Amino acid sequence: MDAPVIIVGAGPAGLVLAAELRLGGVEVLVLDRLEKPSEESRSLGFTARAVELFDQRGLLPRFGELGISARGHFGGLPLDYSVLLDAHFGARAVLQAVTERALGDWAAELGADVRRGWTVVGLHDEGDGVRVEAETPTGRARCAAATWSAATAGTASCAAPPGSSSPGRRRPARCSSPTSADARSGRVRSANGCRPAW
């Protein structure tokens, strides 16, 4: 077995999951199709809950000066959160590239094995674990783990779970929450059961 847990995706959700598992002593392997972190930002900040998590882990200084604001938007429509009782405000003007760099450094310091340029092309249920196949910069590779997680906090293309009768069937779905680990069972999965379609 390459690691007890394989995480597919080295964005913010995957890197936080990897670091948190490492804090719990779990070896993790993170696979990401990009050969290097993207400099393109798909977000410009993070939520109040993320600020709390990063503060609890001592990570806020890695982001530099944070802009906290009661103003935001939804679908381009401006919102003023200060009108809400007990509202929490998130950080603004933090490029996703900066967030990924800070979280990637943290995960690496904790011993997470992040492999870039690995495009997952297959997932196979082996009964007592999973086998993941990937195209890598040096050719096709296989990895084995007890379990796996697709690390996405947004939209994901989902497929039937490993071992089902239609493993490649694509079904678009909204993943409304990031992946999570169940400490009791040691299984890692998306909070709503979403799995990517490879």
57: left (phi over 0), alpha (psi -120 to 50) or beta: alpha
**119 — pLDDT class (breaks 50, 70, 90):** very high
Does any domain span residue 112?
no
CB 171 within 8 A of CB 27: no
Q: Using CA atoms, how far apart are residues 31 and 9, in angstroms rounded to an integer?
A: 6
Residue 6 confidence (pLDDT): 94
Does any domain span residue 120?
no
Does any domain span residue 49?
yes
Instruction: Of 51-55, 80-84, 175-179, give the lowest mean pLDDT range.
Output: 175-179
Residue 181 confidence (pLDDT): 37
Does any domain span residue 15?
no
Helix-strand-coil split of the chain, %, nearest 5 = 20, 35, 45
Residue 86 confidence (pLDDT): 66
- How many domains are there within the chain? 1
Question: What is the pTM (predicted TM-score) of this model?
Answer: 0.71
- Could you tell me the residue range of the domain that residue 88 belongs to? 45-94
Instruction: Of 40-49, 147-156, 175-184, give the lowest mean pLDDT range.
Output: 175-184
Residue 3 confidence (pLDDT): 92
Does any domain span residue 157?
no
Does any domain span residue 177?
no
